[in-house]
Each structure stands twice: as structure tokens, then as C-alpha cells.
Chains A and B, each alone.
Chain A
Amino acid sequence: MKALTLPGRSVPAAGTTPRPRRRSRRFNGPLLAGLILFGLLVLAAICAPLITKADPTAQDLTQALLPPGSRGHLLGTDRFGRDTLARLLYGARIDLRVGVLAVVSPFLIGTVLGLVSGWFGGWFDTLVMRIVDMVVAFPFFVLVIALVFALGPGTGSIYLAITLVGWVAYARIVRGEVLVAKNQEYALAARASGLPTWRILLRHLLPNVVLQAIVFSMSDIVLSILAIVTLGYLGLGVPPPTPDWGSMIQDGQQFMLTHWYLAALPGFAVVITGLALALIGDGLVERMNLR
């Protein structure tokens, strides 16, 4: 039952020319740069007490509005004499933590709902998609702000508000991927071989559809950090005096002519965080395309 070949030759059909398909490298440029940058940000936030001795909430009106480079205050002080560097670092603790954690439950809820509604279709799918349509009719920031207002101040409200609004994006992405994947022949083969549905969903579909959701979660973290910062700027975020980049920008806004850096510096912090996550997202896409 061998293919017709000359005697004394092996069957070369089987991988004698190992295809030098470019091995998908674990890390590529953008991914590595993004991970390092984000890692440094997280490290700085965790090690805040080691980097500066200053207390981010300690007021000292005699030291108010010092310019960057002052003795003992590398990045200067705000109008209450609080150290800007310390506030930036401790602000990172709040903003990064809330930003990353706020994405976890939307990710899980949206992925599960998208997987189930895409696979089974029917009335459940219709219901989920109707709710999705309703939620996406609202601009993200508007609904989050309105919900935080209704729920009252505090980080708990922020988590809940972002979860209530954020899951729809994941549900949409995952459902779309599932609709494509479930008609791919590998999914048909799994069904034809009689594997149970839960196994097909978890073992065959999920690993193939979840990547898009992971890539999206990178920009979603940016979005949720933007939401927290915006809430802080509007005075609806983490209550003072806890430092937060958004409230720092708001504080600094009134000294724009004389001390522009007070509003500018926390903004740069957000921009750099966004850059790091965008690089990670781009890197992940590039890695996926290589496959």
C-alpha cells in the first residue's frame, strides 16, 4: 500500500523536506517593547515607597507649587505642597490596578456569552445580541459616567459600571469569531466524531477564538484607564485625597499659565501606559498573523 516509487526509496511524501516555515517567534519587537514598558510602569507603581520617601498626601503649604528639580521634590509640588512624583507613582497604583482589574469580569462574562450565543444561536443568541445592541447605542463614557453617578462614588462602582458596559464588546468579538469558526472544517470534524459539545467548545473553539478577545483586552485596559482618569477629572472617581492621575490633571488645570507641567505630567503618564498596552496589542496581532 505504498505509493508507487522506485525500489529502495523511502516514502518521501512524509515530511522529508521539513518546511522551513518561519517559526513563530515567542516575542517580536513591539510585544517585547510593550511588555518591558508596561512592566516598568507596574514595577514603579509597586515600588513607589522605595523610589520616593515623600508621602503623596502630606500637605506643606510652605512648599507649594515648587517647580520640577527642586530639592527633595524631583518633579516639584502642587498647590498644597504635595510631592508630584509621589502622587504620580501612588496614582499609578490606583489607576493601573483598577484599569486592569476592571477588564477581568467583562472579559470573562463577554467571552462566555459570546461563545455560547455564537455556538447555539436561537433565542438565547437573539436575546444577548439585543442587549448588546442596546448597550452599544450609548457612548461608552456617557454610560459609565451615568452609572457611576447612580451607583455612588468609590472603586466598587467603577468596577461595576465598567463591567456592565464593557462585556458587550467581548461578547460581540467572540461571537463573531465563533460564527466563523463553527463552520470551519475542524469544528465540523470534531462534531462528526461525536465529541461532546462542552469539549468542542472548550478544547477546539475557545483556544482559537479567545485570541481576538485577548488582543482587544489590551486596548480595553487603555479604555478603562481612560474612563477612570476621566471620572477623576470630573471629580467622580476615587475620592480625594487619594492620588489619581485624573484628579491631578484637574487640580493642575487652574495653574496652566504658570505651572503647565502640573496638568501635563499626569497626562504623559496616561499616554505612556496607553503606548505600552498598544504595543503589546500590536505585538500579539503580529504573532497571531505569523501562524
Chain B
Amino acid sequence: MSPLNMPGRNGLLALIATIMVLPLMLPNAFYFDIVILIGLNSIVCIGLNLLIGYAGQISLGHAGFFGIGAYFSAILTSTYGWPATAAMVVGAVVVGLLSFIIARPIMKLQGHYLAMGTLGLGVIITIVLTQESDLTGGPDGMPVPGFSIFGWEPYGETVWYWIIAAVLVATVWLSLNLIASPVGRALRAVHGSEIAAETLGVNVVKYKVLVFVLSAIIASLAGSLFAHYTGFITPDTSGFIHSIQLVTMVVLGGMASTFGAVAGAAILTILPQLLTVFHDYEHLVFGAVLIGTMIFMRRGLVPTLADLFNGRQK
């Protein structure tokens, strides 16, 4: 059994090829910066897509976990002089525990109540990060020292490019594996019909908790990387607006599609940069694009295009 014989293999190979070729086409560090942000957003969105797209549970608060990861890395490395890797792991563990504790009650909620619950959680996290200013620097944020692993300190956009690319490929690979496994089928079954899944022996609560915790930890790890890469973080990284951006990336790219999450992240990271040409009209155009896409490509970009490509009508 070849390890390459896996679901989504072609997509993964295409992604790797793109990553290999892309540096040749990026004129300067500014463009690398955008691509790195795409990568980081993609990683979070792949995790979030497991929750929203596959398990069918919405979260409007995932930036909160991203923010906790970022701040744990920032505070532990800068204020307490911890090694970056240890800080990152501790952040992920804390997020794992927090999300595990909160998952049971929150995953009992349905539809709009779940949206409200997760939104509230995210807002509370942002407020804590904003108000505990002795630790976090308050609303104006705090600087973060560079990343280091085994004494090596990656510096510069090109090095970070390859780091984020490697993490992204690994995340895509793991996500594709998970979706195609019995666990992945159980998750999708939860989305399809909780009652039916349950009568077939799927412990629905367990899987909801699992996927919630998993997506939260992925967000936390990406948050840590973001903090070290960008060098300066503010509570906005954990804010409602960021949570919304993440969900929008997932939905825009296409729910229940790992590559959709990547595509969505890419579009929504690049779009605001392109829209700066509209100056004052930036938000107006962005809102209109969002509404238009959701109306005309309801299932998201990648699934809609895939259907067109396969000549199917829906």
C-alpha cells in the first residue's frame, strides 16, 4: 500500500507544486508576506472546516483560540523567557483544555444558539486579552520575539515561507486522511443527521467535542506561529471580526472541502489588498463581493467549480 495512494492525492500534489513554483513569481518580501498570511489562514480554516464543513457545527469564536495561542507564545517568550516551542505547546494545551471544558455544554447548542455561544466565548476571550493589560499590553498589543527551534531562529519572509508551507502541507495531508477515515465518516454523519448517527453507534457528543477541540488546537498553533512571524500582536487577532473572516473563508471556499478552505483563505487574504485601490470604497466593495458570492455560489467556490468541471448541474 503506497502512502501516496490516498484520497485527495491529486489536490495535494497540485498544492505542493504551487508552493514550489510560487517563490519564483513573487517579486519581493511584501508578496511573500501575503502568501505567508494565506498559509496561516489556510491552516486555521482547514481545522475550522472540519468543525463547520464536515461536522456541521458553526463557530463564530475561533479567532479566540487563535488569539490565546498567539498571546501564550508572546507572553511566555517575551516576559518569561521561555523557549518558543515550549510556549507554543503550552498555549495549545491550554486551548485544548479550555475548549474541552467548554465543548460539552456549547456543543449541545443548535443553530443560532450555537452561533451565539461561540460568538460570546470569542468576545469574552478578546475582552480578557484587552483588559489584562499588565500581561498583554492591552488594546495596543505587544511585541513578540522571533521564533526559535533547537537554537535555530528563522528570519525573513523566505524562510518563513517554507516553514508555513511545510505546516500547511502537513495539515492538508492530516485533514484529508481524517476525513476519509471512520472518524471522518462519523463526523460527516453528525452533520447529516445526529439522530441517525447516534442510532448507528456514533457517540455524537464525543465526536463533536473531539472536532471542536481539534480545530481549536489547530487555531492555537497557527496563532503561535502568526505571533512569532508577524512580531507584533493585538487583541484584534482574537476578535469577532477575525472569527467572521475565518468562517467566511471556509464558507466562501466551500464547506466540506479541504482545498476549499485553502482557496477561501487565499481569496479573502488577497482581496482586501486588491481592494485598497478602491480606497474609500474598500468596505463597500468587499461587502458586495461577499453577498454576491454567497448568493450565486451558495456551496462555495471549490465545490461549485468542481461541479462545473464535472459537467454536473445542481
Same complex: no
A residues lining the B interface (CB < 8 Å): none
